[in-house]
């Protein structure tokens, strides 16, 4: 029971006194093998419980039928949801998924890329670390003909394949809603400067203000490191203003959670004294009694599904998406405001 070797194609060949090539072909239903032989082979294979050794095939075919996924953190619902989507598509293609959590650590990201290359994955999906600003480790994969598709947290360059989410669309919806409700002073609580997401938010914030003919006012723009205490400080700063904003765009739902608590602590009322719009559309809002006016959904699942489909396109049609003759595979999903006030 221990080291009893698994049945191989040779075993079958020996039993039937045919060659291994015949067996191999018979098992694949190759037309050049006679019907009787094919049947006999398949019967024996069944009997002794033969199963092809995938390792051998991977080795020979130089494919592993495995894709690698590199994400910052599995514990964020956004990414676990994305991973779910990836797994769904991979399964349809009979592929396996191996994962690596970068934990938002650039060095780890590099190590994981190395590891995936060692493992000869057939493709890689990546959502970047917040510190990633060089991309040699990914470029390196080209040497091994390992295609890469980025999603959500993507490099700021054009010569790549990616799927990302356009925050502007959702934000425009949100801003329209605020303006319609009469808000004229709309603040911003942004994230740490080094995050790409932070830059994005300030850009669309400005665009939205402009679109609605509202002035830019540095006083009502603050930022947080995303630490709880810092989140509280940020909202307190806004609340302390002589002329405080009546609505605030907030970096994400987690920050809003702290803001809401702080507003209550200050004896003010959310959605009356001050309203919030945020990003993420966390499922927990369903259970909260105090929630932002709306949150902007970035469709983790859809993003990852499309990214995975792109990846398989590149795997299946070598050359696709390498920007040589074929164009890069790029897609931007519109974000959407989810209105909680309905």
Tokens of 146: 């390992």
Smallest CA-to-CA distance from 71 within 96, 97, 98, 104 is with: 104
Q: Which is nearer to DNA, 43 or 326 (CB)?
A: 43
Between 261 and 266, whose beta carbon lies closer to a copy of itself? 261
- At 20 the three-state DSSP class reads helix
- What token pair was written down for 58? 């991977």
Please provide the DSSP assignment of 21-59 as one string: HHHHHHHTT-TTS-HHHHHHHHHHHHHHT----HHHHHH
Q: Which does 77 bind (CB under 5 to 8 A by kind): DNA, a copy of itself, none?
A: a copy of itself
Q: Is 142 in the site for a copy of itself (CB under 8 A)?
A: yes
Q: Is 87 in the site for a copy of itself (CB under 8 A)?
A: yes
Give least dist CB 4 to DNA, A: 11
CB of 54 to a copy of itself, least distance (A): 5
Q: Which stretch binds a copy of itself (CB under 8 A): 80-88, 149-157, 187-195, 219-227?
A: 80-88
- Residue 254 and residue 75: Cα distance in Å, rounded? 14
Assess 318 for contact with a copy of itself (CB under 8 A).
yes
What mask, x for binding a copy of itself by CB under 8 A, covers residues 239 to 268? ------------------xx-xx--x----
Question: Cα–Cα distances in Å, from 297 out to 37, 122, 168, 170, 283?
Answer: 59, 31, 11, 8, 11
Residue 21 or 134 with smaller CB distance to DNA: 21
Min. distance of Cβ 242 from a copy of itself in angstroms?
Answer: 29
Contact 129, 297 (CB under 8 A): no
Taking contact as CB under 8 A, which single stretch among the options 142-150, 233-241, 302-310, 325-333 is the one that binds a copy of itself?
142-150
Q: At which residue do the structure tokens 């094919």 appear?
A: 38
What is the three-class DSSP state of 128? coil
Compute the distance between CA of residue 280 and CA of residue 254 in angstroms, rounded to an integer: 9
* Binding flag, residue 307, a copy of itself (CB under 8 A): no
21 binds, among DNA, a copy of itself, none (CB under 5 to 8 A by kind): DNA
What are the two backbone dihedrals, phi and then psi, of residue 73, each rounded to the nearest 5 degrees?
Answer: -160, 125
List interacting residues with DNA (CB under 7 A). Answer: 5-6, 8-10, 17-22, 24-25, 27-28, 32-38, 50-53, 56-57, 59-62
Nearer to DNA, 146 or 263 (CB): 146
How many residues bind a copy of itself (CB under 8 A)? The answer is 51
d(CA 119, CA 66): 9
Q: Work out how close the CB of 75 gets to a copy of itself at its nearest, in angstroms, rounded to a whole number.
A: 5
Question: In sequence order, what are the residues at sequence separation of 6 or more whose Cβ sits closer than 8 angstroms to the Cβ of residue 278?
Answer: 249, 250, 251, 252, 253, 255, 256, 292, 294, 295, 296
Pick one of 206, 268, 319, 339: the residue that binds a copy of itself (CB under 8 A).
Answer: 319
| Ramachandran angles phi, psi of 270, nearest 5° | -70, 140
Residues that bind a copy of itself (CB under 8 A): 1-3, 6, 51-56, 58-59, 62, 64, 66, 73-75, 77, 80-81, 83-84, 87, 96-101, 115, 117-120, 142-145, 257-258, 260-261, 264, 284, 287-290, 318-319
């Amino acid at each position: 029971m221990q080291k009893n070797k698994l049945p191989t194609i040779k075993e079958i060949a020996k039993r039937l006194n045919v060659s291994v090539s015949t067996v191999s072909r018979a098992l694949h239903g190759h037309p050049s093998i006679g019907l009787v032989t094919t049947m006999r082979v398949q019967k024996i294979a069944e009997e002794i419980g033969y199963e092809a050794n995938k390792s051998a095939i991977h080795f020979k075919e130089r494919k592993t039928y495995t894709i690698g996924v590199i994400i910052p953190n599995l514990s964020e619902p956004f990414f676990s949801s994305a991973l779910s989507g990836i797994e769904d598509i991979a399964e349809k293609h009979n592929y396996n998924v191996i994962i690596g959590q970068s934990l938002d650590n650039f060095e780890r990201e590099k190590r994981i890329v190395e590891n995936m290359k060692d493992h000869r994955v057939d493709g890689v999906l990546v959502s970047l670390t917040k510190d990633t600003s060089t991309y040699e480790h990914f470029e390196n994969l080209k040497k091994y003909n390992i295609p890469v598709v980025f999603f959500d947290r993507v490099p700021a360059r054009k010569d790549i394949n990616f799927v990302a989410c356009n925050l502007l669309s959702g934000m425009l919806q949100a801003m329209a809603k605020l303006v319609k409700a009469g808000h004229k002073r709309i603040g911003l609580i942004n994230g740490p400067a080094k995050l790409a997401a932070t830059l994005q938010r300030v850009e669309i914030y400005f665009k939205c203000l402009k679109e609605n003919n509202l002035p830019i006012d540095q006083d009502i723009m603050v930022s947080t490191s995303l630490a709880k205490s810092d989140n509280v400080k940020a909202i307190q700063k806004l609340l302390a203003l002589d002329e405080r904003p009546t609505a605030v765009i907030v970096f994400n739902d987690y920050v809003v959670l702290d803001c809401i608590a702080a507003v209550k602590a200050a004896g003010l009322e959310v959605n009356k004294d001050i309203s919030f719009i945020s990003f993420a559309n966390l499922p927990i809002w369903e259970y909260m009694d105090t929630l932002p006016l709306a949150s902007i959904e970035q469709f983790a699942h859809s993003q990852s599904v499309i990214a995975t489909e792109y990846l398989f396109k590149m795997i299946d049609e070598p050359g696709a998406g390498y920007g040589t003759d074929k164009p890069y595979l790029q897609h931007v999903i519109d974000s959407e405001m989810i209105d909680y006030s309905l």
